[in-house]
Structure 1
Amino acid sequence: MSTPNSSTDSKLKPKWQERFDFFDSHGHPGSAEYRQGMKSVTFGKRMRITSNFIAFFFGPVYFFVLGLWKKNLSLLGIWVVIGIVATALDVSDLLARALGMGMAVLYMSTANYAYYLQRTRGIQSWNPFEGMGKRAPTR
C-alpha cells in the first residue's frame, strides 16, 4: 500500500496541507529544525500547526474519525488509569477537572503530527507521543 505524499494529496484540506508541509520542511516536533521553524512563523500559524482544537473538545471520537485508533486506545488507557488513581486517592473535584483538561490537551497536541505520520509514512503505532521527543519516529 502506498502512502500519499503530503504536498500532492488533493484530498487534504488546506489546513492539513499547511501542517504537513511544515512537518515535511522542518521535521518532527522534537527536532531542533522544528523548533527553529516555529520561531519563524506567526502566532496564528504556530497554533494551527501545534494545536488541534477539534481534538481538544472531541478527542476520542476525533481520533477514531481520523483513523488513529491505536493511539486513541493508548490515550484512553492512560485516561482510565488516571481516573482510577484519582478515584482511589479521592482527589478534589478541582484536581479531577484539571486532570480531564490535561487529557484534552494531550489529544489536542498530539493529533496533528500523529495524523501526519499516518497519512505520509503509514505509521500506525500504539505510541501517541511518537516523534514528540528528541528521536525521530521509526517505521
Structure 2
Amino acid sequence: MRGSILNFSAENARGIITASDSKRYEFDAGEWKESIAPFRGQPVDFEVNENGMAVGVYLSLDETSPGGQSKKEISKGWQKRFSLVEKAGGPKLKEARNLPFGERCSVSFSFLAFFFGPIYYLIKGMWRKAITLLGIGLVAVIVLEFVLGLFNLPSEIISSFVIPMIFATRAVPDYYKKVVEGKDDWL
C-alpha cells in the first residue's frame, strides 16, 4: 500500500501514515526500514498487518514530495536535515535548543546561504523568499546604519553581516517548507 508520513514521534517511537485508501495507520519505529529518520510528507510503501498496523515501511522513491520534487532528487544530506527539522519541532525550530550542538547548527545555519544569499535561494527555487529576505535585510541595514550613526559607532562591519545572517539562518527551514510541505510563499 502507498501513503505518506503524517507524523512521527522519536520520543514515542511511533508514527502515523495517511494511506492512499484515505485511512490512517500507525507504525512502530522498528517497522521503519530506512537509514534516515522518517519525517512529515515522505511518501512510503507499506503493508498492513492483522491488527491494522503498518509494517515494513519503506520510502517510495518513485513518488514526488508535496513540493513537486522527486524523492530521488533529494540528497541523503537534505533528507537527514529534514529529519532534524522534524526533530526540532518543524520549520519554526521550536525544539532546536534540545538538539545536540552539531545537529542544532545543521538545521539553524547554512554556510552556503551565508556566502551566496539570494543566489543560493534562486538555485534552490525559492525566488519569492529571496526577494522578500533581501528587502527585509536592506531595511534592517538602513535602520542599523541610522541608529549606529546617531551614536557615532562604526557600522560597516556589523551591517555587512546582517543580510548574510538572515539568509543563513532561514535557508534550511525555508527549503524544508518548500520541499516537504510544498509551501513556496513570500515569507
Is residue 2:77 matched to residue 1:19?
A: no
| 1:87, distance to aligned residue in structure 2 (A) | 6.4
Gap change, CA 1:96 and 1:13, over 3 Å in 2: same
Note the C-alpha offset of 1:94.
3.5
Describe the shift of the 1:81–1:5 C-alpha distance in structure 2 as closer, same or farther (beyond 3 A). Answer: closer
Counterpart for residue 100 of structure 1: 160
Gaps of 5+ in 2: 1-62
- Pick closer, same or farther for the CA change 1:94–1:10 going to 2, 3 Å: farther
CA contact (8 A) 1:3 1:120 kept: no
Partner in structure 2 of residue 123 of structure 1: 183
**C-alpha RMSD over aligned residues:** 2.9
Q: What do residues 13-65 of structure 1 show as CA deviations (whole Å, max 9, x unaligned)?
A: 22211111122344325465x24xx42x4322221121101001111100111
More helix by proportion, 1 or 2? 1
Deviations 1:55-109 (A, max 9, x none): 0111110011111111110111123334445666783683133122122111111
Work out which of the two has the higher radius of gyration on C-alpha atoms and give 1 or 2.
2
Q: How many residues align?
A: 121
- 2:13 corresponds in structure 1 to none
Gap runs ≥5 in structure 1: 128-139
Classify 1:14/1:84 alpha carbon distance in 2 versus 1 (closer, same or farther; 3 Å). same
Judge conservation of contact 1:63–1:72 (CA < 8 Å) in 2: yes
Higher percent of residues as strand: 2
Assess if the C-alpha contact under 8 Å between 1:20 and 1:116 holds in 2.
yes
Q: 1:83 to 1:25 in 2, by over 3 A?
A: closer
* Change in 2 beyond 3 A, CA 1:13/1:96: same
Task: Report whether the alignment pairs 1:72 with 2:130.
Answer: yes
- State whether structure 2 residue 102 is matched by structure 1 residue 50: no
Note if contact 1:5-1:120 (Cα within 8 Å) is conserved in structure 2.
yes
* Higher RCO, 1 vs 2 (CA within 8 Å, ≥6 residues apart): 1
> Are the equivalent residues in 2 in contact too, given 1:86–1:96 (CA < 8 A)?
no
Tell me which stretches of 4 or more aligned residues in structure 1 moved more than 4 Å: 83-90
